[in-house]
Amino acid sequence: MLPADAPPQILAVQIVGEVIPGQLVTGSVVASSNVASVEARVSTYSMPLTKVGVGCFMLSGSVPRLPFFLRNRTYTVYIIARNTRGDAVTQTLRVTIH
């Protein structure tokens, strides 16, 4: 257990399944015990993850429908974890939207 004001840490990130517009995507983040919130951000789109336990967060949501010219591209997903003081740590993940 880390103190609340210790720097937050992201220990593991997992996205399950293919990222296809209109389909459900799920994932999980394991973070240090002092992480209060986690969000996933792609460009201007942001989604909070649900805290399910100490340092454990889950993602579940539909991939937005995109026009054909935005498909079959690889995007950077920013996973941002924050402690209660607001200190943040970011990890990136590359995903291809089919």
Structure tokens at 53: 């336990």
Phi-psi region of 72 (alpha: psi -120 to 50; beta: other; left: phi over 0): left
Check whether 43 has a pLDDT greater than 90.
no
> Cα 73 to chain center, whole Å?
19
Determine the pLDDT at residue 66: 87
Residue 72 has pLDDT above 80, yes or no: yes
Could you say which architecture CATH assigns to the domain 10-97? Sandwich (2.60)
* pTM (global) more than 0.95: no
- Residues 53-80 have a mean pLDDT of 92
The residue extents of the domains of the chain are 10-97
Band (17; pLDDT cuts 50, 70, 90)? confident
